[in-house]
Amino acid sequence: MLILGIETSCDETGVALLDDEQGLLAHALFSQVEVHADYGGVVPELASRDHVRKLLPLCDQVLADAGKARTDIEGIAYTAGPGLVGALMVGGSVAHALGYALDIPVLGVHHMEGHLLAPMLEDNPPAFPFVALLVSGGHTQLVRVDGIGEYEMLGESVDDAAGEAFDKAAKMLGLDYPGGPRVAALAEKGREGRYRFPRPMTDRPGLDFSFSGLKTFTLNTVNAAKDAGEFDEQVKADIALAFEAAVVDTLTIKCRRALEQTGCKRLVIAGGVSANKRLRAGLEKMTAKLGGSVFYARPEFCTDNGAMIAYAGAQRLRKGQKDGERIVSVPRWPMDTLPSVNEPRAN
Ligand code: ATP
Ligand code: MG
Ligand code: FE
């Protein structure tokens, strides 16, 4: 089954063509980072308009790259939520219009299920069951995964997401958006032990996270360095390293707890922050000690992309799940309310 995947939940337009037997045939991404750069954050209306401009050209591009015609497409998956409603509507409208014209099934996919399943696009994909750590710009969640659509929420952030914390720390260090990769690059020049940041909520039981305190700690550290006239490139790098080490340690401690609690040996990490090298290394070490292993996607499939939506949609479309005639856009949508891939669904 040839599936077109469409991602427009936030500030990247992602499109992919996936054959459910041959795998990924082509994918393309347009990032709107420059569109929003002057505003210090994503401007929803500008995001929607830019998706309108870029989506159909990207669809044509992936078809050309794969040597396929529009009429070869057998199913369409689009991100139905969570995300910015106007941005979601663009992907949903194009998906439903194309699906109607081609008379093929269309399915609205959960964006975080897309992230969660992205590691399945790699060689040596994880088998079920596993524990997943979803760490992105808007989410920090630990999930027990028994199958597609069989999700039990084990813990989540009570305030900021890990990616959001990276982005805010970056801003305080004078770095541009998206801050995660920039903080990580700066941290490579940092000196170990110069600063020590707290590991929030690791001293009590449970699998929830909190990152807003780290944000305040970063701000206080930056201000103290400024007041002391020490806020130079080396000190910025030292702060970046201390911040990154604190986030990675905190995530690692909670992942170990989740693996011990569930008895799972496999850990999957997904979402933009799962591209972080220090996090990957920390989790490799921790899972190896437990006799387990960690799985993740190639860096370009950690952040938003069309391939993960095509993959998640393909699993459900081939079981007959599809939308009714209505475009589905769900700005807030808990992932554990999704039906199992094995349940019949029409909405
Ligand atoms: P959500 O998926 O929750 O709706 P989102 O789509 O904005 O949010 P993603 O695209 O999955 O999030 O990830 C973007 C986030 O990942 C940003 O916060 C970015 O700073 C962070 N990020 C990307 N690469 C890295 C890295 N190497 N280290 C740390 N953080 C990173
Ligand atoms: Mg993004
Ligand atoms: Fe995302």
As annotated, the residues of the chain forming the CATH 3.30.420.40 domain(s) are 2-117+302-337, 128-296
What order of strands is seen across the sheet that includes strand 293-295?
Answer: 150-156, 140-147, 130-135, 266-270, 293-295
Contacts with 228 (C-beta within 8 Å, 6 or more apart), sequence order: none
Rounded distance, CA 17 to CA 31, Å?
18
Closest ligand 1 atom to 161 CA? 3
Closest ligand 1 atom to 166 CA? 20
- SS3 percent helix, strand, coil of the chain, rounded to 5, is 45, 20, 35
- Beta bridge partners of residue 275, listed in sequence order: none
Supply the residue whose CA is at minimum distance from atom 12 of ligand 1. Answer: 137
Q: How far is the CA of 238 from the centre of ligand 3 (A)?
A: 28
Rounded distance, CA 264 to CA 127, Å?
11
Supply the residue whose CA is at minimum distance from atom 1 of ligand 1. Answer: 138
Neighbours of 286 (CB within 10 A): 18
Rounded distance, CA 345 to CA 79, Å?
17
Q: How far is the CA of 325 from the centre of ligand 1 (A)?
A: 32
pLDDT digits (tens, 9 = 90+) for 186-210: 999 999 999 999 999 999 999 999 9
Supply the residue whose CA is at minimum distance from atom 2 of ligand 1. Answer: 136
Let me know: does 45 contact 76? Beta carbons within 8 Å: no
Q: Which of 269, 303, 308, 309 to mutate to test the pocket of ligand 1 (most atoms within 8 A of CB)?
A: 303
Please state at what angle helix 277-289 crosses helix 233-262, rounded to 10 degrees: 30
Q: How far is the CA of 137 from the centre of ligand 2 (A)?
A: 7
Annotated binding-site residue? 134: yes
Neighbours of 150 (CB within 10 A): 17
Q: What is the DSSP string of 88-115?
A: HHHHHHHHHHHHHHHT--EEEEEHHHHH
DSSP E strands: which ranges in 148-296?
150-156, 266-270, 293-295
CATH of domain 2-117+302-337: 3.30.420.40
Annotated binding-site residue? 180: yes
pLDDT digits (tens, 9 = 90+) for 129-158: 999 999 999 999 999 999 999 999 999 999
Ligand nearest to the CA of 169: 1
pLDDT digits (tens, 9 = 90+) for 106-122: 999 999 999 999 999 99
Residues of the chain with pLDDT under 70: 344-347
Ligand nearest to the CA of 274: 1
Q: How far is the CA of 333 from the centre of ligand 3 (A)?
A: 13
**308-to-15, 79, 163, 300 alpha-carbon distances in Å:** 10, 10, 19, 11
Per-residue confidence (pLDDT) for residue 345, from 0 to 100? 55
> Is 0.95 exceeded by the ipTM?
yes
Ligand nearest to the CA of 139: 1
| Cβ < 6 A, ligand 1 pocket | 10, 111, 115, 136-139, 163-164, 166-167, 178-181, 184, 271-273, 275-276, 303-304
Structure tokens given for 43? 């401007």
Structure tokens given for 278? 């220090």
172-207: string of b/e by CB count within 10 Å (b at 16+)?
bbebebbbbbbbbebbeebeeeebebebbbbeeeeb
Spelled out in words, what is the top-level CATH class assigned to the domain 128-296? alpha beta
Q: Which of 134, 156, 304 to mutate to test the pocket of ligand 1 (most atoms within 8 A of CB)?
A: 304
Per-residue confidence (pLDDT) for residue 181, from 0 to 100? 98
Ligand nearest to the CA of 333: 1
Rounded distance, CA 327 to CA 196, Å?
49
Single-letter amino acid code for the residue at 140: T
Q: How far is the CA of 176 from the centre of ligand 3 (A)?
A: 19
Q: How far is the CA of 61 from the centre of ligand 3 (A)?
A: 22
Let me know: does 143 contact 313? Beta carbons within 8 Å: no
Q: Which of 36, 166, 176 to mutate to test the pocket of ligand 1 (most atoms within 8 A of CB)?
A: 166
**237-to-83, 186, 188, 247, 281 alpha-carbon distances in Å:** 33, 5, 7, 15, 20
Supply the residue whose CA is at minimum distance from atom 7 of ligand 1. Answer: 137
> pTM to 2 decimals?
0.98
Ligand nearest to the CA of 171: 1
Q: How far is the CA of 304 from the centre of ligand 2 (A)?
A: 6
